[in-house]
């Protein structure tokens, strides 16, 4: 039987009405009854304002209880939440918006103010942030926060939408309803967006619950919906760190935020910093989920030694289908190879003729926006099956994983190659000892380039590419390795030469 994300949340709210559901970084909380009332009120008021089923809403609201209410309320009204990052630049934003075809947009009041023509936008531009003009979008607007100059006069207040409505009806189960659109990759000319339904998201939550032990006595501390939404379905308490908080920058603050928590999610790089600095995590922790980058045995050995009572779970998946497999620390440490684990119940995995891992199941997305439905997802990873368990053998994609950020070289290489003295530019990810990736920018120089090209390019990069893509190292080589009849750059060979 298909599982409906929204139906699961509403049923949990009825069962755990007086329990705390959500707490923000300032300690403000919502009970399950309050969460449900606000979600249903938001849906009711949106419909009263002309929001029609099938409408897509651009969503640029920071993680927090208010954004969870607005997102779930949008879906309950029959709409689709389109998560979009305005920091990628106006051109990328415009191409993604054009593909999504939104009728509404929800954004922080400060984002409206900073993106409108004026001193705030000029300040953001001087700091290297190029924001699209949100207020100029030909859509209905919702603001999160107080009205500020630059916010459209008729923008609806998210807070006002959530005021309780007497006898607001719960949504009917509809697993086939389009619920979420997430952009994953692509250039400004060809954006790519994953479409999930209420059913595929519900199936994802159920799959995660197979290994993640959540219940009414659990407290989950994370800003990741992948773990937060399962917490709500299980009747657990979901607490959130401050928006934009980077655990590796302040592991002491992370440990303080985890006081009393039983579960959290970390990328391997964050866990490595915590271990390096000897920061003590609270004894309440039972499970730590690790993902978004390779989880290597060396890191797991250190983690188990420092936290012997905590179960570490390495989660493998991607935006199109999450999770695919989960492996415990003991499984990964005891295996000679990069073990991902057995496919979770309902997930099917097979290996293509070229060695690529193909996966499918009820938690598979509907497909990519504007493209035919998917029945199977090609992961871009090379793997083999050992007794039904998936073993990763390499990466087919060029995508670079650094911390929680996916960096797509093709978005930035042309602009770097246009810098004075540069003949060619390639960004590659080089794995480090904790399973994260360092970004190395490899350049070749034009014949008339002056000495010191690497230094000049590094100085110019903040004005050319996003801060999230800035390389850890810049090197100049005489030539780039090529392969094939078309003599394309051999990224694998280049990466191998940088790891020697």
Looking at the structure, tell me whether residues 416 and 332 fall in a common domain: no
Q: pLDDT at residue 486 above 50? A: no
Longest Cα pair distance anywhere in the chain, in angstroms?
A: 75
pLDDT band at 24 (very low <50, low <70, confident <90, very high): very high
Least confident range from 105-114, 149-158, 232-241, 386-395: namely 386-395
Domain count of the fold of the chain: 3
Looking at the structure, tell me whether residues 408 and 390 fall in a common domain: no
Least confident range from 115-119, 218-222, 270-274, 450-454: namely 115-119
Looking at the structure, tell me whether residues 417 and 299 fall in a common domain: no
**Model pTM?**
0.80
53: domain CATH number is 3.40.50.980
Of 378, 395, 412, which residue is a domain's last?
Answer: 395
In angstroms, the CA 290 to CA 327 distance is 10
Looking at the structure, tell me whether residues 46 and 73 fall in a common domain: yes
Q: pLDDT at residue 127 above 80? A: no
Q: pLDDT at residue 119 above 80? A: no
Looking at the structure, tell me whether residues 283 and 358 fall in a common domain: yes
Looking at the structure, tell me whether residues 222 and 364 fall in a common domain: yes
Q: Residue 170 phi/psi, 5° resolution?
A: -70, 155
Tell me the residue range of the domain where 104 lies: 5-200
Q: For 386-410, what is the mean pLDDT? A: 78
pLDDT band at 268 (very low <50, low <70, confident <90, very high): confident
Q: For 124-143, what is the mean pLDDT? A: 80
Of 144, 178, 200, which residue is a domain's last?
Answer: 200
Q: Please give the share of the chain, as a percent, with pLDDT higher than 70.
A: 92
For residue 400, what pLDDT is reported? Answer: 81
pLDDT digit string (tens) for 326-368? 999 999 988 877 899 999 999 999 999 988 999 999 999 999 9
Q: For 382-408, what is the mean pLDDT? A: 80
Of 340, 363, 395, which residue is a domain's last?
Answer: 395
Looking at the structure, tell me whether residues 387 and 424 fall in a common domain: no
Looking at the structure, tell me whether residues 21 and 145 fall in a common domain: yes
Instruction: Please give the C-alpha separations between residue 376 and each of 62, 135, 247, 281, 358, in angstroms, as whole numbers.
Output: 32, 39, 35, 40, 7
Q: Residue 18 phi/psi, 5° resolution?
A: -90, -5
């Amino acid at each position: 039987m298909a599982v409906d994300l929204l139906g699961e949340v509403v049923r949990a709210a009825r069962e755990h009405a007086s329990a705390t559901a959500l707490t923000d970084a300032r300690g403000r909380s919502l009970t399950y009854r309050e969460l449900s009332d606000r979600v249903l009120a938001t849906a009711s008021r949106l419909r009263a304002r002309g929001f029609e089923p099938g409408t897509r809403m651009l969503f640029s609201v920071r993680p927090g209880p208010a954004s969870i209410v607005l997102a779930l309320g949008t879906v309950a009204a029959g709409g689709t939440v389109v998560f979009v990052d305005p920091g990628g630049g106006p051109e990328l934003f415009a191409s993604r918006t054009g593909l999504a075809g939104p009728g509404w947009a929800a954004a922080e009041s400060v984002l409206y103010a900073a993106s409108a023509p004026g001193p705030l936008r000029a300040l953001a531009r001087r700091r290297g942030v190029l924001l699209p003009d949100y207020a100029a979008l030909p859509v209905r607007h919702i603001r999160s926060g107080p009205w500020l100059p630059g916010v459209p006069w008729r923008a609806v207040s998210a807070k006002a939408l959530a005021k309780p409505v007497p006898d607001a009806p719960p949504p009917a189960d509809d697993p086939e309803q389009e619920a979420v659109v997430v952009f994953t990759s692509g250039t400004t000319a060809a954006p790519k967006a994953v479409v999930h339904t209420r059913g595929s998201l519900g199936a994802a939550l159920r799959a995660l619950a197979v290994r993640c032990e959540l219940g009414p006595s659990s407290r989950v501390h994370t800003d990741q919906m992948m773990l937060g939404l399962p917490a709500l379905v299980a009747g657990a308490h979901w607490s959130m760190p401050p928006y934009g908080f980077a655990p590796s920058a302040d592991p002491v603050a992370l440990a303080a935020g985890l006081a009393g928590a039983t579960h959290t999610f970390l990328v391997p790089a964050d866990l490595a910093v915590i271990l390096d600095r000897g920061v003590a995590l609270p004894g309440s922790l039972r499970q730590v989920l690790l993902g978004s980058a390779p989880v290597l045995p060396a890191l797991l050995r250190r983690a188990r030694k420092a936290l012997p009572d905590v179960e570490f779970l390495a989660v493998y998946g991607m935006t199109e289908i999450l999770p695919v497999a989960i492996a415990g620390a003991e499984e990964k440490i005891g295996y000679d190879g990069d073990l991902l684990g057995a496919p979770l119940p309902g997930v099917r995995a097979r290996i293509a003729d070229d060695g690529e891992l193909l996966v499918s199941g009820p938690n598979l997305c509907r497909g990519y926006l504007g493209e035919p439905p998917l029945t199977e997802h090609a992961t871009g990873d090379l793997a083999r099956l050992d007794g039904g368990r998936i073993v990763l053998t390499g990466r087919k994609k060029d995508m670079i994983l650094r911390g929680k950020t996916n960096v797509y070289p093709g978005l930035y290489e042309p602009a770097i190659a246009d810098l004075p003295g540069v003949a060619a530019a390639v960004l590659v990810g080089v794995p480090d000892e904790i399973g994260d990736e360092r970004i190395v920018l490899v350049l070749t120089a034009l014949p008339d380039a002056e000495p010191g090209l690497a230094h000049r390019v590094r100085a110019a990069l903040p004005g050319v590419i996003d801060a999230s893509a800035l390389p850890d190292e810049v090197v100049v080589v005489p030539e780039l390795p090529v392969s094939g009849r078309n003599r394309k750059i051999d990224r694998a060979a280049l990466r191998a030469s940088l790891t020697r």
